[in-house]
Structure 1
Amino acid sequence: MRPDHRSCRQIVLSVWFLLLISTCVLVGQEEILTRIQRVENNLLPPVLIKGEKGWVLKERMKHYMVPGVSVAVFRDFRIEWAKAYGVKDIGTNEPATPSTMFQAASISKPVAVTAALKLVEEGKLKLDDDINKILRTWKLPENEFTEKRKVTPANLMSHTAGLTVSGFPGYEPDEALPTLQQVLDGKSPANTPAVRVNLEPSTRFRYSGGGTTILQLMMMDLEGKAFDQIMKTRVLDPVGMSNSTYRQPLPEDLRSHATTAHRADGSVIKGKVHIYPEQAAAGLWTTPTDLSKFAIEIGLSLKGRSNKILKKETVERMLTPFVADNIGLGFFLDKKGNTVYFQHGGANEGFRCMLMANKEGGYGAAVMVNSDNGQIIGEIMRSIAKEYQWESYLPPEEEIFAVAESVLDRYTGRYLVNPDRVLTVRREGKRLMVDATQPPSFELLPVSERTFIRRDQVLRYTFVVSGQGSAGEMEIQTDAESNKAPRVPAHRRIPYEDLMAGNVEGALSGYRAIKREQPDNFAVSEDRLNSLGYEFLRQKKFREAVGVFSLNAELYPGSANVFDSLGEAYATSGDREGAIRSFRKVLEIDPTHANALAQLRSLGAN
């Protein structure tokens, strides 16, 4: 029988075609591996200096004491690669993998908003409805701020409702968990204040996780289901986010797939992770791969190429500024040059993360770490942006200018940035160094004879000189504003420096003077003084901590939080009577304050 030459030819062609495909796949894989290596070896600071090399990822993990990092990169609406580095838990040293779940923190919000927008498409609510006409199991108290405009679902999605409570600290595993209603009313065992309107809705942006928690309750009231089930059926399953869940606390059968939370010093947080009943605001467990799938679906829907969740028209509205230029419905909008990125970051106890996606181009990345130190995320994002040539993402490179040492000497001295912050400029060889009131120090790099930059922040420092003498002031410029810092004598001390030197009374007098002369200055704001008090409390400088907290209570006598902090300082320092007195004052202001009630019980007081 004669051979069939056509069959032989077909076999040869088939084999050749398979070999060609295999070769293309291998070449493609090699190209991706090369790109991964370049990303790993070129982490970049916020300010790029011409000729300077980038950092190595594993060295930066060690520098920041970050146990685990997970990355996913997508291009042309497809995930190109995903890789994890380091470990899930510093105690077990179990390796992290691309399928290891991290807490998404506030990236939970745009995912939750997507489900709410699906309910809008189904006609179950309208974006401009009064939320109190939708809510069934709780109502937002009306007040003078809601007389003219009511709070709407669109306000909740865009942080324009004028609501309080920016974020949530979560709960340790052995702590009692509040209901959503208790969270929203700030009632025990909730550990945050009541969520209330104190700005007129739709007038300006102010971030509020409290508002997202109202959105969560609204969705649960409408659907009559647990929130994690709503999210599973509305978003996670349709997009294929197979390593994601909103279940809080995380069930034991999923715990082995998740990482542990770590402090900035690399230690494991108490209880390993915090629990977030505020699921829409902070409760998503996920991976960079799943977040990338979500961002890709949003991008495809915007182009009309997919509708697994939302229609094109809905996504267009989602990614259109609402009230403020930088926020849509769920996502932040970053305009860079002629392009726009939709993005959201996240920060839970022991976790940091970022999702970044180009609105039109189908490219972006997600990065997650199991650490309170998230600086490495920006460095990784910039490395990815450079490797994949993201449009307008990176700033132009700066070129260093040579300045004579004699000129640098004219700039040395102390400059008053605000009434409680001084920058001390000194020359170190041919470099100009700055010691801030609070560390760390940083280098100023000259881009002209009088203008300097720094690597870690996008700021410009210009020294103003008259004649041939020393600089009389320093001008500090951001993209949005310019502030002048006058030179001050070496002997002049600011209140913070008095505190550091143990001169508590001198420091408190200084803060009182600032409050009299500049009552709205951030240096004497309630939040700043509260943070300052805790700074000294962590250092076990009890006299300084109690002094600052007492001053805060003096300046803000109507705040339950300042007396709660003062009570904690007294209790930590061993002053039981002072602690009881302070916590009782908390209850005079807020009779339902959960922490004050618990502290008084632990102190054996009524």
Structure 2
Amino acid sequence: MKRRKLGFIKVVLLVSLVLNFIQCETQESLTKKRIKSVEQGLLREVYLKGTRPEKLSLFDRLQFYRVPGVSLAVMDGFQIEWARGYGTKNIAQAEPVDENTLFQAGALSQVLATLATLSLVDEGLIELDQPVNTYLRRWKMPIYSVNRQRRLTIRDILTHSAGFYEIEFQGYTPGDSLPTLVDILEGKSPARNPKLYPVYPPGTQRVYSEAGFVLLQLLLEDVTGQDFAQLVKERVIQPLHLANTTFECPLPPALQARAAQGYDRQGQPLPGGARIFPQQAAAGLWTTPTDLLHLSLALIKMARGEERDVISPLLIREMLTPRLGLQAMAFLVEGSGDDLRFYLEGYNPGFSAFLVVYPSRGQGVAIMANSDNGLYLSEEILRAVAANYNWPHFQPEEKTPYRLPVEIYQEYVGRYEVNPQYHLDVRYEDYYLIIHPTGQVPTRFYAESKSTFFAVDPYIQIQFLRDRQGRVTGLVLRQKRTRVEAKKVS
């Protein structure tokens, strides 16, 4: 009897092992299939009505956008399913990008700065709704007409409603003299920005400005007596086990060896190397897509009360609650229920970063590239991930082209000057406009109204301008973060 029982147990164990093996094999096979589908399924932002969205190769699009390298990590079922690198982190040395390659994260720096701030709130060292001058020591926020009635608070800074004018810092070349935080706030040399001052009453409207995070960095250092990089390391990076994340500048040798080189729109390396940001809280972070998803998973768990590694659940939920429009603390938050998502994109010269997470679904993606063109590529990758993981958003948009009377097209034909060295030559061809920028390939534009046209690959919009007499005087070109004006000269 005992022998039969032992035999039965062995059979059960064997079946269990086989089933586990099959399950692991099935998941591994599914992941490989998804990776290949993403790699071969990038999607443009728009497609023409009457056609189907064309699936594109990630490798081809790297070349199309002149992006040397890109790294991405995908989260599904509340775990990081896969992470891959593509292309090169340094063209001259032919070093490949992998999942451990570090990139500058731009505005995603503000997420870690926010968490460090909330950790101080959690300890009772500061309060979100107290005026910042309560805590500042080295510099005080001046009183202007716009902030006389309502003083600037920490919460205002974290939600980009501090009232500062819009500004994104461009960093400094290695070897440059670096300004102090007070120099930056005052607009004094060697700072390269004007004086930072409010133009709106605090708390009244959302205007993206990195100025507030310079002030926040100064405040955190004044309150704790610590250098910002060390402060965030102790309060956020180490507790969340973000092994490939740092604000240290210059990078430690071990991390420098894994850091990507930044490249401009033409595929040329940034002169002097990656930019240095004394404005660390605003734009000084180096990290990887995998660490960004580890951070996102920690936020989800802390919000649910499953972890208290850094901050209480109440404060994390407050962080992820929109205050003005879609703007929460650091992140933009949109949707509700299972469709709620928090997201943010970052840009530094030569680098781009994008993060989107569905906290209720346990899904998300982080994408980082070493190019000024990185966001264009990242959005195509995002659409491929969304399609393969059945996300409800980030699908290509169908566009309807219109046929205008030929004489309207003819009015737009001519040369448009951006500057003496850069022109846009416009010609008519079979109910399209062909626009040929200096040094680039001609692109076909379709009409979507009498004065606006669009190109599909890449998606670009152009609006033609007229004077009071109805004569065409120029055009405005828009492509994501780029806006170019050109005057008609012939």
- TM-score band, normalised by shorter chain: 0.7 to 0.9
1:468-507 matched pairs, under 5 angstroms = 494=473
What corresponds to 1:409 in structure 2? 406
Q: Indicate the SS of the match to 1:193.
A: coil
Aligned equivalents of 2:248 and 2:412: distance in 1?
Answer: 51
* Cα deviations by residue, 1:78-115 (Å, 9 ceiling, x for unpaired): 11110000111011011111011111111101221122
1:366-515 matched pairs, under 5 angstroms = 366-374=366-374, 375-394=376-395, 397=398, 409=406, 411-414=408-411, 427-429=428-430, 432-435=432-435, 442-444=443-445, 454-455=455-456, 494=473
Which sits farther off after the overlay, 32-41 or 435-444?
Answer: 435-444
Counterpart residue type for residue 10 of structure 1: I
What corresponds to 2:116 in structure 1? 115
Change (3 A) 1:408 1:8: farther
2:288 aligned with 1:287, yes or no? yes
Change (3 A) 1:295 1:3: closer
2:343 aligned with 1:343, yes or no? yes
* Cα deviations by residue, 1:367-398 (Å, 9 ceiling, x for unpaired): 00011112101111111111111123325645
Counterpart residue type for residue 38 of structure 1: S
Q: Indicate the SS of the match to 1:24.
A: helix
Aligned equivalents of 1:216 and 1:26: distance in 2?
Answer: 48
1:232-271 matched pairs, under 5 angstroms = 232-271=233-272
- The alpha carbon displacement at 1:59 in A equals 0.5
Q: Indicate the SS of the match to 1:260.
A: coil
2:3 aligned with 1:24, yes or no? no
- The alpha carbon displacement at 1:343 in A equals 1.1
- The alpha carbon displacement at 1:311 in A equals 2.7
Change (3 A) 1:208 1:52: closer
Aligned equivalents of 1:451 and 1:190: distance in 2?
Answer: 40
Change (3 A) 1:387 1:176: same
Change (3 A) 1:273 1:450: closer
Aligned equivalents of 1:199 and 1:452: distance in 2?
Answer: 35
2:202 aligned with 1:205, yes or no? no
Instruction: Give the structure with the higher percent strand.
Output: 2
What corresponds to 1:44 in structure 2? 43
What corresponds to 1:364 in structure 2? 364
What corresponds to 1:468 in structure 2? none
What corresponds to 2:99 in structure 1? 98
Counterpart residue type for residue 27 of structure 1: T
Count of aligned positions? 474
Aligned equivalents of 1:203 and 1:457: distance in 2?
Answer: 36
Contact persistence 1:415–1:487 (CA under 8 A): no
Q: Which has the higher contact order (CA 8 A, sep 6+)?
A: 2
2:133 aligned with 1:132, yes or no? yes
Change (3 A) 1:420 1:340: farther
Which sits farther off after the overlay, 439-448 or 131-140?
Answer: 439-448
| Superposition TM-score, scaled by structure 2 size | 0.86
* Cα deviations by residue, 1:115-142 (Å, 9 ceiling, x for unpaired): 2112112211111110011111221222
Counterpart residue type for residue 311 of structure 1: S
Q: Indicate the SS of the match to 2:74.
A: strand
Counterpart residue type for residue 45 of structure 2: P
- The alpha carbon displacement at 1:14 in A equals 2.3
Q: Indicate the SS of the match to 1:342.
A: strand
Q: Indicate the SS of the match to 1:155.
A: helix
Q: Indicate the SS of the match to 2:90.
A: coil
- The alpha carbon displacement at 1:35 in A equals 0.5
* Cα deviations by residue, 1:465-517 (Å, 9 ceiling, x for unpaired): xxxxxxxxxxx7xxxxxxx9669999x56378xxxxxxxxxxxxxxxxxxxxx
Contact persistence 2:102–2:255 (CA under 8 A): no
Counterpart residue type for residue 412 of structure 1: Y
1:266-345 matched pairs, under 5 angstroms = 266-322=267-323, 324-335=324-335, 339-345=339-345
Aligned equivalents of 1:423 and 1:171: distance in 2?
Answer: 32
Change (3 A) 1:14 1:336: closer
Aligned equivalents of 1:459 and 1:299: distance in 2?
Answer: 36
Change (3 A) 1:388 1:125: same
Aligned equivalents of 1:341 and 1:183: distance in 2?
Answer: 34
- The alpha carbon displacement at 1:236 in A equals 1.4
Aligned equivalents of 1:78 and 1:48: distance in 2?
Answer: 33
Change (3 A) 1:142 1:460: closer
Aligned equivalents of 2:467 and 2:43: distance in 1?
Answer: 33
User: How well do the aligned residues superpose, as a CA RMSD in angstroms?
Assistant: 3.7
Q: Indicate the SS of the match to 2:32.
A: helix
Counterpart residue type for residue 110 of structure 2: K
Aligned equivalents of 1:390 and 1:47: distance in 2?
Answer: 18
* Cα deviations by residue, 1:163-212 (Å, 9 ceiling, x for unpaired): 24612111111112222222222222222222222322112112111111
Contact persistence 2:104–2:348 (CA under 8 A): yes
Counterpart residue type for residue 252 of structure 2: P
* Cα deviations by residue, 1:529-580 (Å, 9 ceiling, x for unpaired): 9x87xx99xxxxxxx9xxxxxxxxxxxxxxxxxxxxxxxxxxxxxxxxxxxx
Q: Indicate the SS of the match to 1:367.
A: strand
- The alpha carbon displacement at 1:144 in A equals 1.9
Aligned equivalents of 2:443 and 2:303: distance in 1?
Answer: 43
Counterpart residue type for residue 36 of structure 1: I
Aligned equivalents of 2:106 and 2:425: distance in 1?
Answer: 37
Contact persistence 2:466–2:472 (CA under 8 A): no
Change (3 A) 1:451 1:62: closer
Contact persistence 1:112–1:280 (CA under 8 A): yes
**Bigger radius of gyration, 1 or 2?**
1
Contact persistence 1:408–1:432 (CA under 8 A): no
- The alpha carbon displacement at 1:245 in A equals 0.7
Aligned equivalents of 2:296 and 2:84: distance in 1?
Answer: 18
1:52-91 matched pairs, under 5 angstroms = 52-91=53-92
- The alpha carbon displacement at 1:432 in A equals 2.1
Counterpart residue type for residue 342 of structure 2: F
Contact persistence 2:446–2:453 (CA under 8 A): yes
Change (3 A) 1:62 1:14: same
Change (3 A) 1:200 1:294: same
Contact persistence 2:44–2:396 (CA under 8 A): no
Aligned equivalents of 1:22 and 1:338: distance in 2?
Answer: 31
Contact persistence 2:242–2:291 (CA under 8 A): yes
Counterpart residue type for residue 241 of structure 2: G
Q: Indicate the SS of the match to 2:366.
A: strand
Q: Indicate the SS of the match to 1:79.
A: strand
- The alpha carbon displacement at 1:426 in A equals 5.7
1:565-580 matched pairs, under 5 angstroms = none
- The alpha carbon displacement at 1:313 in A equals 2.0
* Cα deviations by residue, 1:201-260 (Å, 9 ceiling, x for unpaired): 112112111111111111111122121121112221222211111111212232102111
Change (3 A) 1:441 1:140: farther
Aligned equivalents of 1:259 and 1:309: distance in 2?
Answer: 29
| Superposition TM-score, scaled by structure 1 size | 0.70
Contact persistence 1:70–1:83 (CA under 8 A): yes
What corresponds to 1:33 in structure 2? 32
Change (3 A) 1:88 1:339: same
Aligned equivalents of 2:424 and 2:108: distance in 1?
Answer: 35
Percentage of pairs with the same residue = 32
